[in-house]
Amino acid sequence: MRLTFVGELGWELHVPSEGLVDVYNTVMEAGKSHGIVDAGYRAIDSLSSEKGYKHWHEDVRPDTTPLEAGMAWLVNAKLKTGVDFLGRDALLAQKKSGIKKRLVCLKVKSPVPLVTLEAISRDGDVVGWVCRTAYGYSVGCNVAWGYVEHPEKISLDWVKSGKYQVECMGEVYDAEVSLAAPFDPKNLRVKGIYEDAA
């Protein structure tokens, strides 16, 4: 099926277990002239983090909403209709009052590996925590996704106006904040468009 979790135009193969070895060997042989290599789960974590693809259990959990996770596009159409679903009233109320926490992307230039649960500071005050991180080889730095909180309401201006840092093992590192993925934010590569995609 045409699917990607790494931000590239690709395929996900669903193969009966008895055919796995033959399919693997055929794919590896066909890709030899293109430099195909095996890649592990850490590669998937790194690429999906750069692309901003969300992980259930890290970026999105039972205690977060689609609005807080930057995934309002998944529910906005339903919220405009009379279609009822579990959580609808809570989302409508949250949309009206505003969100108090928001998933943000932090690019951390330090080579120190981050592991999650690092503190996120904005203008010197701890405002959140890192929920997922990986080194982004395409962007050349640590890519950390984390939730920042505000006691009243989070606005785009509030997010963008602060100076952010991430604390790791007692050391503090400067971070660049964004609501967009650091790699291919226009989503061109999954459409096979490679110019100006990075």
Rounded CA-CA distance 142/52 in Å is: 13
What pLDDT does residue 55 have? 87
Rounded CA-CA distance 3/190 in Å is: 9
Q: Are 31 and 53 spatial neighbours (Cβ–Cβ below 8 Å)?
A: no
Q: Are 131 and 116 spatial neighbours (Cβ–Cβ below 8 Å)?
A: yes
Rounded CA-CA distance 192/112 in Å is: 34
Q: Are 36 and 28 spatial neighbours (Cβ–Cβ below 8 Å)?
A: yes
List the structure tokens of 10. Answer: 């690709």
- Could you give the angle at the alpha carbon of 127 between the alpha carbons of 122 and 130, nearest 5°? 100
Beta bridge partners of 173: 166
Distances in Å between the Cα of 161 and the Cα atoms of 110, 156, 158, 164, 182 are 22, 8, 5, 9, 18
- Residue 166 phi/psi, 5-degree rounding, is -120, 135
Q: H helices then E strands: how many in the chain?
A: 5, 6
What pLDDT does residue 101 have? 96
Rounded CA-CA distance 196/198 in Å is: 6
User: Which residues fall within 8 angstroms of residue 77, CB to CB, at 6 or more apart?
Assistant: none
- Please list the ranges in the chain whose pLDDT falls under 70: 196-198
List the structure tokens of 190. Answer: 């999954």
Q: Are 181 and 50 spatial neighbours (Cβ–Cβ below 8 Å)?
A: yes
